[in-house]
A and B are shown apart, each in its own frame.
Chain A
Amino acid sequence: MTFGEKQTDPLAKTHWRGDMQADYFYPSGVAGDKFFEHLKNNDDFMVCKCKKCNKIYCPPRLYCEDCFDEIPDDAWSPVAATGKIRLFTVAMLDAHGEKLAVPRVMALIDIDNTDSAMLGVIKTSDLDADLTGKNVKAILKPKDKREGTLKDIVCWE
């Protein structure tokens, strides 16, 4: 081996293999808890509204991101789980870089009657269609199988 040669394969020489434990724990927080507790038993979204600037948040927050005003408990109300696609992308590969048998369509959805958007998977058979502006509805898991995470929303249709 000369000085200029580059070895890029870590398995070519003596090596050690290992696993790194990097568990990821994300609690929903106070506002997120309210949202998911409502979603467990209902088919709509719990949102909250800033009384100062009238901005409606979905998923809800404890304070307004614009004016930092606290959002009180009486500013919460449910809205229908429908929305409009703002933009979308078609994923051909999965998280490991493997080719997907069925490409996944993911979109940013403006939730109706709110000022917020959520990311979601779109159920569609036509991969070439322009989905921008399409009205979609959230498809939720059966009520007894909901866990209180964003995975309770199976897809949008």
Chain B
Amino acid sequence: MAEEKKDPAFRLRETKGQMSWPPYAPGTHVRESDIREKKINYSWWEPEVQYAWSAGHAMNVFLDGLKKGKIMGINCKRCDRILVPPRMFCEYCYGPTEEWVEVGDTGIIETYSISYLDSDANRITEPILIGVIDFDNSPPHHGIMHYFGEMDKEKIKIGMKVKAVWKPENEREGAITDIKYFKPMEGE
């Protein structure tokens, strides 16, 4: 019988326990102490890597609005919608957006989460309430994500009416954190 043609990799796999494929290479481990005690030779370089991240034109207007205590949106007349947060083009029709409008600082909870992990993934006992807010003056399903406060974790529900709680005007810096959180409106 003619010898079956096998690729070298296959042959190596056949010899069970003898050799693995790809061949096992133990490598050389470097410990932190080897570096500290200069047991090994190495090069160390700390490059200067600086960046500036721009909010862009639309978000710039939005953030300037926050400084003044306004939540700004922009409308697309073709699709008859208001975009919050604003964008320079409408992602439905790809046309440019047109007029700036204030959407007010009241809305309803579109969706929410009760998080027992903080932003560093530490376990916490008192949960963080977070979710998406639909503004009253914008069409449904157009909202921003923010914290909820002065709210009971048992009472939070989708459709709950909420209102923004702003930082004092002199502490605002043109960031989304100029709104401290959203609190339930009276009667909720």
Contact = CB atoms under 8 A, between A and B. Distances in A.
Interface of A: 1-3, 7, 9-30, 32-33, 36-37, 147-150
Contacts of A3: 88-89, 96
A15 B64 CA distance: 12
Contacts, number: 93
A10 B54 contact: yes
Nearest to A13: B60
A18 B51 contact: yes
A111 B55 CA distance: 53
Given A14-B59, A25-B42, A30-B28, A19 B50 contact: yes
A96 B54 CA distance: 23
Given A20-B50, A30-B28, A15 B55 contact: yes
B30 A27 contact: yes
25 contacts: A2-B96, A3-B88, A3-B89, A7-B57, A9-B54, A10-B53, A12-B54, A13-B57, A14-B55, A16-B53, A17-B53, A18-B50, A18-B51, A18-B52, A19-B48, A21-B49, A23-B45, A23-B46, A24-B43, A24-B44, A26-B43, A28-B40, A37-B41, A147-B41, A149-B41
Given A1-B57, A29-B28, A17 B40 contact: no
B8 interface: no
Interface residues of B, number: 29
Given A24-B43, A25-B44, A27-B42, A13 B49 contact: no
Given A3-B89, A24-B47, A27-B30, A15 B52 contact: yes
B98 to A, nearest CB: 10
Nearest to A23: B46
Contacts of B52: 10-11, 15-18
A45 B43 CA distance: 18
Interface string B23-35: 0000010100001
Interface string B61-88: 0011000000000000000000000001
- Identify whether the interface residues of B are mostly helix, strand, loop, or mixed: mixed
Given A27-B42, A148-B42, 6 more contacts: A13-B59, A18-B51, A19-B50, A30-B28, A149-B43, A150-B43
A14 B54 contact: yes
Among B43, B46, B56, B57, find the residue whose CB has the most chain A CB atoms closer than 10 A: B43
Contacts of A29: 28
Nearest to A28: B41
Given A32-B41, A33-B41, A11 B54 contact: yes
